Amino acid sequence: MREQKPSIAFLGIGLMGSRQARRLLDAGYPLIAWNRSREKAEALAPLGAAVAETAADAVRSADLVVTMLENGRIVAEVVFDQGAAVAMQPGAVLVDMSSIKPAEAQDHGARLHALGVAYLDAPVSGGTVGAETGTLAIMAGGEAETFARVEEILKAMGRPTHVGPTGSGQLAKLANQIIVGVTIGAVAEALILAERGGADPAKVREALRGGFDESRVLELHGDRMVRRDFATRGRSVTHLKDIDNALDAARRLGLTDTPFATATAELLRGLLAHAGDLDHSALFAELERRNRLDA
């Protein structure tokens, strides 16, 4: 007899969650979907998902609960204030794949542990493309035993790595966001310099590919910059939230000098103030504005 797969409740069917839930359904996992806007969850019904009216209803019989929500405040509201935590079965696992503060993850983990629920903070990197193709980098913090229990399920969504105790997944994600944000800014500044001097920025990008500065940012975001395609794929407001969380974590850890993250946050604030929530590759446009090249 074929072994029955664990049942999953997925809370948060947005740009990322909808694609991750599809990967789990494609892998054959029974899935109950919940979203504050019910129609987003209902879009998964033709693929075999059940749709719950409330977050608490979604989790009652789930072996694993996955949350993919906007920030720590909303995670706490859904999991604790709306009764999902107390509705979960003792021994079930909650994997929070949202990007929140490490201190919030530690608090959530302790509160769930007191209810007999295991917990991982497991934020992701890779954007909507990674969510759709199942190639997300998944950074998991929590007990090694808990990670081992759900590792195979996480593999349906990407490449999971256990990075340390509770809160470590969020620290890894913040490290990721600093690297990505600083690199986007560096690529933007470099291409503007090249263009200002008379070089073709598209050709400069092509010439740099394969050298020491090769990266996914140069490949993807650099291409968006030279084509001036700033349609939102990675939201600038979300990236700023993560950088601010990184700066908060740095202060809590006694780090007083964080020049690269601080500068990136300032650039993202300027972009949001003057152009709105474009793709984070639009730091290129913000640097043009600051250099008065956008006229």
What is the residue range of 160's domain? Answer: 8-165
Tell me the catalytic residues: 173
Length of the chain: 295
**Same domain as 109, residue 93:** yes
Within a domain: residue 295?
no
Burial of 268 (0-12, 13-18, 19+ CB in 10 A): buried
**Same domain as 146, residue 18:** yes
Single residue among 165, 200, 215 that ends a domain in this structure: 165
Buried/exposed code over 35-67 (b: 16+ C-beta within 10 A; e: otherwise): bbeeebbebbeeeebbbbeebbbbbeebbbbbb
**Count of structural domains within the chain:** 2
Contacts of 235 by beta carbon, 8 Å cutoff, 6+ apart: 277, 279, 280
CATH number at residue 47: 3.40.50.720
Alpha-carbon span 287 to 291, nearest angstrom: 6
Within a domain: residue 118?
yes
Give pLDDT tens digits along the chain (295 positions). 567 899 999 999 999 999 999 999 999 999 999 999 999 999 999 999 999 999 999 999 999 999 999 999 999 999 999 999 999 999 999 999 999 999 999 999 999 999 999 999 999 998 888 999 999 999 999 999 999 999 999 999 999 999 999 999 999 999 999 999 999 999 999 999 999 999 999 999 999 999 999 999 999 999 999 999 999 888 999 999 999 999 999 999 999 999 999 999 999 999 999 999 999 999 999 999 999 997 6
